[in-house]
Structure 1
C-alpha cells in the first residue's frame, strides 16, 4: 500500500489565495486570483491512487520534477526518480517508498532514457547559477540505485528544465535555462566520463522550465510560464523558430504554465495558477480537456511543478499507465509526488 497521511483539503479560493502569496515574485502572482481564474475552463476530477514519501527538505518549496522508468520484465517493479531541488535525487518504488537518495545538491528537473542496456538519468544542475550543467547518473533497475556518471556543461545561465530525446543518431538533452534559452546538447556516453556538445540554441522570451519530447514526431514541447505552451522541431538540424500551441490566457492554462508530459498521443501541461492540468491531442494539437487531482485517500495536488505520464501496464495498481505529479502543498509533511492512474484520467476526459 502506498504511503498515506496527506491532507484532504478541497480546492477553494482560500487555497488559491495562499498559492498566490507563496508565489511571491512570479508575474502571475501579481494578478488577483479572481482575475486569473475567472475565465478558466471546467475541469474534471480524478483522485490519486498513491503517493511517495515526502522529501526530506521540510518547510520549503523542494520537491519539483519526476521521471518514470517502466520495468518491461516486471511492470509492478517500475521506478520513479524525483528531485528535491534543495538537496538531490530520490528513487521511489510504485509503493511510494524511497529506495535510494543521492546528495546532488540543487538539481531542479529530471528525465531518463534507456540507452543500450543502461538507464540514463539526467538532471538540470543549478549548483552554479551562472553556468548550467547536466548531471548524469546510471539507474540500476534491479537495485533502484543511482550511480553518478559525471557532469556536462550546458552553457551560461541558471539550469532549470531538462528533457531527453533518444534520436537515431544520438542521445540529446534539451537544457531549458531560466531566461527561456533552450540548448540542445548531444550526449556522448562512450568514454570513461560523459561529454556533451551544444548543437543548437533556441529561445523563448521569458522564464521557461517544463519540457518534453514526442519522439514519434520529433517535436519538443516547452512551457513558457507566463505565455503558454510552445513547440519546436527536436531534430538537431531542424528550424529553431517556436510555434505557439496554447496560450496561458486563463482558460485552458492559467499561468504559471509549468510541467509538461508527452504520452499516449497527448501532451499534458500543469496549469499551476488554478491547480489543474490541460490536455492537448498531439496529432493536431487541439485542446481536449482539463482535470484536477481532487481530495481523496492520498490528498489533492496544488501548485504542481513537474509532471510525467507513461502509458502501458504498470501492474495491478496501475494497469493502464501512470501520471506522477509534484504536490506543492502537502501539509503537515514536506512536499511529495502523487500517483494517478492514467486510464482514469482518460476516462474522465472521454479520451
Structure 2
C-alpha cells in the first residue's frame, strides 16, 4: 500500500488533487454506493497502538450466516475480528521481536480457507502475512462465529514455522518480507500465494499439519517483469524508490479455475495459472508513462505524457482483488487506489472484461472510502443486515479526522448496491 504514486497528466492529475470538486471530475459516471456499517477507527500512533487497517477477509458461518465474522489486519496493531455490525469481538496482538534489535510482528494481509482437512481435522483457517518477522501466522476459526466472542480465533501457528522469503533473521531486517496473501483449498492441503515486499515475486506454499498446529512448505515461485516493452519499441519501467522493484500485494484465487489474479501495484493485474504462463490482463492508467523519483520529496513525478499502452480503469496503485460467484458468473472487484474508486470485471476464458466502476461515498451510517487497499466479498445471504451478500473494503482515510492522527478502518457494503 503506497499513497504517493505516479499521476497521469490532464484530468487524472487534476483529480489527484484533494477535495470533492477534483474527485467529481475523475469519478463522473461511476455508481455511488454507501456503507451500512463500519469498524471502529484505528490510529497509527503510539496512543492508538500503531494500528493501521489494511486488508479484510470474511468468514461465513455455514449454519448461522448472520453470525459470520469479518477479520481485518491492522499492521503493527495486530488482527481484529468483528461482527456484522462492525463491533469488535476479539483483538490479537502481533508477536514481539524474537530478539532485541530485530523487527517485531506486523500483520499485513489476511485470507481464509474453510473446510480444510489437515492432520485428520476439519478446520476453518485464517492465514496472515507477518511482514515484520517474514512468517505466516495461522489461526483456527471457531465455528460458532460471532457467538464465540473473544475466542473466535485461536493461534495454531507451529513454532517450527519457517521464514517465508528470507534466508536468515539478518535478511528479515531488510523487510523484503511476506506481504500479500491468497489461499485456495486443495486435497493435499491448502495452497497459499504470498507476495514479497519491494520485489516482483510471488511464492506458493502449502499448509501442512504439525500435530495440532499448522506450518507450511514452499511449492514454487514466480518472478515477474520489472520492465516492459511498449508498442513503440521502447522499454518502460515503473518509477520506484531506489533499490525497489514493482511489488504485488492484492491477490485472489478463482476457485472455479484454480487461477490466481494478482495486482502488481504500478503495473496492473496478472492472471497466473497454477500450471502455465502468467499473463498481464489489465494495466493501470500510468502504464508506460515516464516518471522520475525525487529524493527531496520521496515521490515519483511524471516526466512525460501518458502512453498509448496505458489502461483505462485503474489508477496506481492497483490493490485489493476479490471475486463474487453468482448464478454461474464470476465478478472481480479491484481497488483503484490512486483515484479512490473500484473497477468491476467479468471473468471469462480470455481473462477479464471491464463492466463498470463505483465509489463508496459518504452516507448516513458511515463516511466514504479513500485510498482503499484490501477488499473481500461474499454473495451468501448473511441475514437481515446483508440479505444479498457483503463487500468489505479498507478505508485509508477514515473521517472524522482527529487532529493530525492518521485514521483508518473497514467499511461494510450491501452487495446489491454494486453495479
Partner residue, 2:185: 166
Give the match's secondary structure for 2:132. Answer: coil
Q: How far 1:41 sits from its partner (Å)?
A: 7.6
- Work out the CA distance in 2 between the residues paired with 1:163 and 1:342: 21
Partner residue, 1:137: 139
TM-score between the two structures when normalised by the length of structure 1: 0.84
Report if the CA contact (8 A) 1:270-1:305 is conserved.
Answer: yes
Alignment of 1:44-123 (within 5 A): 44-55=31-42, 57-58=44-45, 62-104=52-94, 105-114=105-114, 115-116=116-117, 117-123=122-128
The gaps in structure 1 that reach 5 residues or longer are: 1-18
Partner residue, 1:337: 410
Partner residue, 1:270: 335
Alpha-carbon deviations, 1:138-177, whole Å to 9, x = none? 1213214221112443223321100101123321110111
Report if the CA contact (8 A) 1:41-1:252 is conserved.
Answer: no
Report if the CA contact (8 A) 1:262-1:309 is conserved.
Answer: yes
- Kindly report the root-mean-square deviation, in angstroms, between the aligned alpha carbons of the 2 structures: 2.4
Give the match's secondary structure for 1:73. Answer: coil
Give the match's secondary structure for 2:42. Answer: coil
Q: How far 1:118 sits from its partner (Å)?
A: 1.9
- Work out the CA distance in 1 between the residues paired with 2:131 and 2:7: 23
* 1:183 to 2:179 alignment: no
* 1:221 to 2:294 alignment: no
The gaps in structure 2 that reach 5 residues or longer are: 17-22, 95-104, 167-175, 227-245, 286-310
Distance change in 2, residues 1:61/1:194 (3 Å): closer
* 1:199 to 2:219 alignment: yes
Report if the CA contact (8 A) 1:82-1:110 is conserved.
Answer: yes
Report if the CA contact (8 A) 2:26-2:339 is conserved.
Answer: no
Q: How far 1:193 sits from its partner (Å)?
A: 3.1
Q: How far 1:29 sits from its partner (Å)?
A: 9.7
Q: How far 1:243 sits from its partner (Å)?
A: 0.8
Give the match's secondary structure for 2:416. Answer: helix
Partner residue, 1:212: 252
Distance change in 2, residues 1:101/1:63 (3 Å): same
Q: Which has the higher strand share?
A: 1
Q: How far 1:57 sits from its partner (Å)?
A: 4.0
Greater Rg by CA = 2
- Work out the CA distance in 2 between the residues paired with 1:41 and 1:225: 24
- Work out the CA distance in 2 between the residues paired with 1:184 and 1:337: 28
